[in-house]
Amino acid sequence: MAVNQILVSVLSILQDEKIPVCVIGELALNYYNVPRVVHDLEFCVPEASLLTAASTLCSTGQYRPRPKMEYDIFTQYKDGFPAFRVQSHPNLAIVLFPDNFFHLSPVGQMIVLRSQKSDISIYSRQILDLVPEKSLEILPFPHLSPYFIGLCRRFFESGDDMARIAAEQLVGGMKLDEAWIQLNLSKAPPKVQYLASVLVDERFSSVDELWDLQMSSFAESDREEELQCIPGSGFQ
């Protein structure tokens, strides 16, 4: 699996330099049962380590700076951040973000630790289509609650519609409800709690048949009791 090979390579390179790193973006959405096509592999590192992380990846010869590209409404949030083409897989790119961009600072405290995964852990089909379970045991994905909060805050602070869409898809993919909000968002800003409740209400009142069909087609194992066993989901 190309995605898995690149993930392991990038993480190994950065971790050898003692740079904390977290997998975000489309792969993090896949991890939390959202059916999203992966265009780029996105990572966040401490803001102070961003340039070091970028130069370290380039120094290996495995990654080359991506030529300047035209951004659109779906990709505008990536503009200005280090992006690289993978030499062995030119159709894939890597983008690095500072951890404060999605409010995941300090990033080392936001990831799902290996010790928090167990024999009863279950992973969504969305991520298993790209990454084998053995790798998921060691890959640093963010806990759902701080990632959700960060997306909401990003939307409020910058009007980033893609961040709001991602938050909405997390609600649908993980079947989040008011109980989850009360358990995980009690210390979040009031605006975030309100938006979360709105998104939950929309999920329960949704008549979007296309989305329902997509979710049922892509997520065979989306029973709530199974989703709640995804490490980092906040249900455990």
Per the structure, the complete domain to which residue 185 belongs is given by 144-229
* CATH number of 92's domain: 3.30.460
User: Is the confidence at residue 209, as pLDDT, over 60?
Assistant: no
Q: Per the domain annotation, does 124 fall within a domain?
A: yes
Looking at the structure, tell me whether residues 26 and 126 fall in a common domain. yes
DSSP line for 126-189? HHHTTS-HHHHTTS-PBPHHHHHHHHHHHHHHH--HHHHHHHHHHHHHHT--HHHHHHH-TTS-
**Of the residues 78, 111, 137, the one at which a domain ends:** 137
Q: Which of 137, 169, 198 is the last residue of a domain?
A: 137
The whole-model pTM stands at 0.90
Q: Which two tokens stand for residue 158?
A: 């910058």
Distance from C-alpha of 165 to C-alpha of 47, rounded to nearest angstrom: 25
pLDDT over 60 (residue 210): no
Question: In this structure, is residue 107 part of a structural domain?
Answer: yes
Taking a C-beta distance cutoff of 8 angstroms, is the pair 94, 41 a contact?
yes
Q: In sequence order, what are the residues at sequence separation of 6 or more whose Cβ sits closer than 8 angstroms to the Cβ of residue 195?
A: 152, 155, 156, 164, 167
Q: pLDDT tens across 4-43, in order?
A: 999 999 999 999 999 999 999 999 999 999 999 999 999 9
Which of these, 29, 56, 26, lies nearest to 38 by C-alpha position?
26
Same domain for 74 and 89, yes or no, is yes
Q: φ and ψ at 111, to 5 degrees?
A: -90, 155
Lowest-pLDDT range, 47-61, 78-92, 129-143, 213-227? 213-227
* For residue 220, pLDDT beyond 60: no
Mean pLDDT of 127-153: 95
Give the helix ranges, DSSP H, for 17-143. 25-31, 50-59, 125-128, 133-136
Considering the domain architecture, whether residues 133 and 200 belong to the same structural domain is answered as no
Pick the last residue of a domain from 137, 165, 184.
Answer: 137
The count of domains in the chain is: 2
Strand 83-86 to strand 63-65: parallel, antiparallel, or no bridges (unpaired)? antiparallel
- Looking at the fold, whether 84 and 128 belong to one and the same domain comes out as yes
For residue 7, give the nearest of 146, 167, 150, 134 by alpha carbon: 134
Whether residue 203 has pLDDT greater than 90:
no
* pLDDT higher than threshold 60 for residue 215: no
